Amino acid sequence: MLDDFIVRALLAGMGIAIIAGPLGCFVVWRRMAYFGDSLAHSALLGIALGLLTGISGNLATVIVCSAFAVILLWLQHARILATDTLLGIMAHAALSIGMVTLSFIDNQRFDLHSYLFGDILTVQSVDLYWIFGGGIIVLILLVRYWSSLTLMTLHEDLARAEGVKTFWVNLMLVLLMTIVVAVSIRIVGILLITALLAIPAATARQWVRSPETMAMLAAVLGLAAVVAGIYGSAYLDTPTGPSIVTAATILFAVLFPVSAVLKKRRILH
């Protein structure tokens, strides 16, 4: 019989894996890992404002991350600076402002380590509502706009010629990422969210030939990493968030060379 906190942790991790897998495919295809890190850094400001104002941390994180994404897209469109420069400025500014804001909170206890690296074993029922509620929204929009997103990923000019409103589809994609970031903080933390998005997708990419199959396999690999990470953490008494990412990394390290060998054998035969 599993303890309640283990059951909640497994449910939370599985819910995140199911949505992070398909969304992570676009992170890999569109080379958005640095954007994901920047978005996650801005989440600390959302958490700080949530603690300071007393509103839900998840809601505050969604609001701040969404504002971060919209401002970034507007600055990109205005071509003020190179994208990587904008990301570096905005991400570290948000992280620093968040840390400064946290220093003004002296009447509440908070565990900065759990925000940075996650603490999935402390997930409560309300967190599950956020995870599965946000997950349903993400999955519905991904299914609805899958063809537009994949076409835009392959060739943005072609997508525009086909009638895809690329700016709004781009905006939707980054807003979906903000939802995943907001609900993933308790699972793997601010510093490791992008790893949960990118590693299963990068692993799946070596084994499939279609975008849809890659999305499904990425979700399955994410689920495997979550379960292995939680049980490994309980058995070895290690931090759970980093244990999940370590499990995902081990899967990548094992499956990537195997896929390379199989591809080479197919070519030779």
End-to-end CA separation in angstroms for the chain:
50
Convert the pLDDT of each residue in 176-232 to its tens digit: 888 888 888 878 888 788 888 899 999 998 888 888 899 999 999 999 999 999 888
pLDDT grade for 260, boundaries at 50, 70 and 90: confident
- Is the pTM for the entire model greater than 0.75? yes
Domain borders along the chain are 4-268
Q: Which of 10, 61, 13, 66 is nearest to 200 (CA)?
A: 13
Q: Identify the helix (H) or strand (E) that includes residue 170.
A: helix 166-188
Lowest mean pLDDT among 54-63, 148-157, 258-267: 258-267
Can you give the pLDDT at residue 268? 57
- What percent of the chain stands above pLDDT 90? 13
Q: How far is CA 225 from the centre of its chain?
A: 14
Can you give the pLDDT at residue 34? 81
Beta-carbon contacts of residue 128 (< 8 Å; ≥ 6 apart): 8, 11, 12, 15
Can you give the pLDDT at residue 200? 92
Tokens found for residue 64: 């701040």
How much is the mean pLDDT over the chain?
84
Instruction: CATH number for 4-268: choose from 1.10.3470.10, 1.10.1200.10, 1.10.10.10, 3.90.1150.10.
Output: 1.10.3470.10
| Matching residue, tokens 């978005």 | 39
Mean pLDDT for 86-98 is 85
Mean pLDDT for 107-119 is 73
C-alpha 251/C-alpha 192 separation (Å) is 16
Distances (CA, A) of 237 to 11, 83, 111, 231, 255: 20, 40, 19, 10, 26
Can you give the pLDDT at residue 103? 81
